[in-house]
Amino acid sequence: MGELIGFPQRDRHPEPEPLWREAVGRELRTERTRQERTLADVAEHAGVSTQYLSEVERGLKEPSSEILGAVSGALGLRLVDLTARLTRSLTSRPTGPLALAA
């Protein structure tokens, strides 16, 4: 018979990719805390409730594009800035078959 070829060991339970709403929420919270602003302050400037903004930041709510625009604007970000930050943070995570082999 032929030679057995060993396959790289793979993590049987790789960390799943975050949901979009989780990644967005994490980025919004990171920027808000970087600016040392409160939920209430940003929520007021964005025209949303503090509770809703908290749920968005925790990845529990899927915000509309209007809400994303309002919250980003309240933080001094354009939607393209938020999207670029999300792209950087998501692409810096190892994923896919190559990441499993590492």
DSSP 62: -
9 CA to centre of own chain: 29
pTM: 0.76
pLDDT tens per residue, range 52-93? 999 999 999 999 999 999 999 999 999 999 999 999 988 887
Q: What is the pLDDT of residue 17?
A: 84
Q: What is the pLDDT of residue 3?
A: 74
Q: What is the pLDDT of residue 91?
A: 87
For residue 84, give the amino acid letter. A
pLDDT tens per residue, range 5-39? 666 666 565 678 889 999 999 999 999 999 999 99
For residue 29, give the amino acid letter. R
Give the 3-state secondary structure of residue 47. Answer: coil
